[in-house]
Structure 1
Amino acid sequence: MTKAKQPTILVVNDDGITAPGIKALMHTMKEIGRVVVVAPDSPQSGMGHAITIGKPLRLDEVDIYEGIEMYRCSGTPVDCVKLAVTKVFNGVKPDLCVSGINHGLNNSINVLYSGTMSAAVEGAIESIPSIGFSLDDYSMQADFEPCQKFVKEIAQQVLAHGLPAGTVLNVNFPAGNKIKGVKICRQANAKWAEEFDMRMDPYKRPYYWLTGVFQNNDQGQDTDVWALEHNYASIVPVQFDMTAHHAIPVLNTWLFNV
């Protein structure tokens, strides 16, 4: 009997190559396949789907954790995926792309700003089954152990079944060791009520610091916000085709006088 081929798994993140979250993710993925890490050389949170244009990118192989092939990239999380596919894998797609585990949630509207999720979306654009993982804990001492069995199971399910075309999974975990299970959810209608605190630097010049409060405008019990508030891991299938298909018939009723 021939031994089954191990899947190849690309691991990326936005918190940087030395973040505890990516360490937890790569070691979990090592249990199910061959791991290759390509991650930013510094934190890139909130970068969304930004790419580097007009300046050079650096990609250096590093030896941080024994037995894991790792590359440090000077660019954004999306740059990491692009360089991984074209230069590290030389156009041969990995079997899975996983991003995270992010320090902090990427539920609801946060998915639009997230470097973690944008890396996973870029993987899906490259036709690689992709998942973004996030934990509701911003601390560098965050405990990822309670969610790791769920990370492994979700990754194995994706490897076994694949994902619908153009779809990526956005997975968020509540903090603590009492995760009840997994809920398949929709993205909640919630947003940040943002404020900019004006402060003064030592030269008496004003600068602004972004603050805000997260407001949930959605009382549904099928949302990612509800699941996390009730100690479930949330899984939201996300698509990168941003066409508002329901709006096309409405726009087709307009009369353009040109």
Structure 2
Amino acid sequence: MTGKTDSKQKQDRPVILITNDDSIHAPGIRALVEAVSDLGEVVVVAPDKPQSGMGHAITIGFPLRLVKAQLFGNGVESYHCSGTPVDCVKLAVDKVLHRKPDICLSGINHGANHSINVIYSGTMSAALEASIEGIPSLGFSLLDPSVEADFEGARKYARLLVESLLHKKLDKHLCLNVNFPAVPADLIQGVKICRQAYAKYEEDFEERKDPTGKKYYWLTGEFVNFDEKPDTDVWALANNYVSVVPVQFDLTNYKLKETLEKQLHFDA
């Protein structure tokens, strides 16, 4: 009788899919697994190498490898994939879980994904892919790119957010972009629901020469914020709050759509 009860309890626990873009070996994904491993049945499917800045890229024309790994212990099933973060989500649903998980978590990314970074981020693209598939998702990022970053505060607030959401009826397309300030846990002021700040990178391609004398270019740049209002993710993080921005895959500009419908008229 006990065996049947244990089996039912296991089936009743939520299935949590975890992925990232820094690779399955990154400290950030380990911190996320540790934060939520007792909240459900955790399955990790993550890239076998760093995939930062891949955006929503998928692998076409090349085979994908999916290899089982034993990296996390505590009953956490894990796989590393030769593809992109989006590939990982697709393969996890189709070939590993054979079902949609209850929630998908991506991260914890080493480095910021606030403001315009969401467009380029492999971390957030994995979360958005889950949202497209009707899986509520969160992408987590810490504003410290170092492999030796302190994830204590990020672990604490990631767990609080996931635990809270697992007890609520969620919109299947929920996708939250969560960023943590790079400060000790006791200096984090709390959580703010924000909008994405208007900012961009002022980029420059530095011209260099390789040992053979041939030119190559190295991307450099500076993050410039044009939006100082206190309801943005950039403001929240600068003031030591965890920023939470609801994002979506529908890129339609509805306000502009209404304007164009009034302004543009074409004869058939």
Q: TM-score, normalised by structure 1?
A: 0.96
Does residue 184 of structure 1 match 2:182?
no
Identify, as 1 or 2, the structure richer in helix.
Answer: 2
User: Aligned-pair distance for 1:149?
Assistant: 1.4
In 2, Cα distance between the equivalents of 1:145 and 1:101? 11
Write out per-residue CA displacement over residues 138-160 of structure 1, whole angstroms, 9 at most, x where no aligned residue. Answer: 11111101221110111112212
Aligned to 1:31: 38
User: Aligned-pair distance for 1:183?
Assistant: 0.3
Write out per-residue CA displacement over residues 118-168 of structure 1, whole angstroms, 9 at most, x where no aligned residue. Answer: 000011111111000000111111110122111011111221224435330
Aligned to 1:158: 165
User: Aligned-pair distance for 1:34?
Assistant: 1.0
Aligned-residue identity in percent: 58
User: Aligned-pair distance for 1:3?
Assistant: 4.9
Aligned to 2:219: 210
- Trace 1:100-249 onto structure 2 (pairs within 5 A): 100-177=107-184, 178-249=187-258
In 1, Cα distance between the equivalents of 2:87 and 2:248? 20
- 2:87 corresponds, among 69, 79, 83, to 79
Structure 1 239/162 Cα, relative in aligned 2: closer, same or farther at 3 Å?
farther
Write out per-residue CA displacement over residues 77-104 of structure 1, whole angstroms, 9 at most, x where no aligned residue. Answer: 00000000000011x1111100000000
In 1, Cα distance between the equivalents of 2:169 and 2:46? 24
In 2, Cα distance between the equivalents of 1:43 and 1:243? 31
Does residue 256 of structure 1 match 2:260?
no
8 A Cα contact 2:21 2:85, kept in partner: yes
The CA RMSD measured in Å over matched residues stands at 1.5
Q: Any stretches of 5+ residues in structure 1 without a counterpart? A: none
Q: TM-score, normalised by structure 2?
A: 0.92
Write out per-residue CA displacement over residues 4-52 of structure 1, whole angstroms, 9 at most, x where no aligned residue. Answer: 8211100000000000000000111102111100000000000000000
Q: Any stretches of 5+ residues in structure 2 without a counterpart? A: none
